[in-house]
């Protein structure tokens, strides 16, 4: 049976699906819409799957889409290990402005559900990672936004020294949390 674990953030969960191992390897059902709905009370209908490959120190984020194009995501790591971080941007939420982090790896098999209205980012902690995510809304360039990874208000711990982080020029220009929520 799939295990669902709440986080301190409203509507944000991590999941552990049972693994079936034998001499051939491992099988795992990574998503079942009805089981997810029954266990969380949330409806998630995913329409787009994405995958990225990164080397150690690559930090992607913090990203989100605004308005009608906001996305909920179910993320997991197919290879390697990442630190995944989310920030609740929903002003009406009791956990608005709070963040949560979790290590995801192919070894621990944990998946992480990120609701709409959250900024999301991750950094690769292993030599290489393959990061997979399901989205419940299509990517829309006009709706994309983000928060700078080293925001002074959020004080996020990425578990690697700053000089080891590899960040795209686009992500280095993201605004501060205070600007995003203004």
Residues with a known catalytic role? 63, 133
What gap in Å lies between CA 11 and CA 98, rounded to an integer?
13
CA distances from 7 to 50, 75, 90, 104, 108 (A): 24, 15, 16, 14, 17
Q: What are phi and psi of 151, to 5 degrees?
A: -55, 130
What gap in Å lies between CA 111 and CA 74, rounded to an integer?
7
Q: Is the bond preceding residue 28 a cis peptide, omega within 30 degrees? A: no
Structure tokens belonging to residue 6: 């709440």
What gap in Å lies between CA 152 and CA 44, rounded to an integer?
33
Closest CA to 145 of 59, 60, 65: 65
């Amino acid at each position: 049976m799939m295990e669902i674990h709440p986080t301190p953030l409203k509507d944000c969960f991590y999941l552990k699906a049972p693994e079936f191992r034998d001499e051939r390897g491992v099988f795992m059902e990574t998503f079942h819409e009805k089981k997810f709905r029954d266990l969380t009370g949330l409806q998630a209908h995913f329409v787009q799957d994405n995958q990225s490959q990164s080397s150690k120190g690559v930090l992607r984020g913090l990203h989100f889409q605004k308005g009608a194009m906001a996305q909920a995501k179910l993320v997991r790591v197919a290879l390697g290990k990442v630190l995944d971080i989310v920030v609740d941007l929903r002003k009406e939420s009791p956990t608005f402005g709070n963040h949560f982090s979790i290590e995801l790896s192919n070894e621990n098999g944990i998946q992480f559900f990120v609701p709409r209205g959250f900024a999301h980012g991750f950094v690769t902690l292993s030599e290489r990672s393959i990061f997979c995510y399901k989205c419940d809304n299509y990517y829309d360039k006009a709706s994309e936004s983000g928060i700078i990874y080293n925001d002074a208000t959020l004080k996020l711990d990425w578990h690697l020294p700053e000089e080891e982080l590899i960040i795209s020029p686009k992500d280095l220009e993201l605004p501060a949390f205070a600007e995003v929520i203004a």
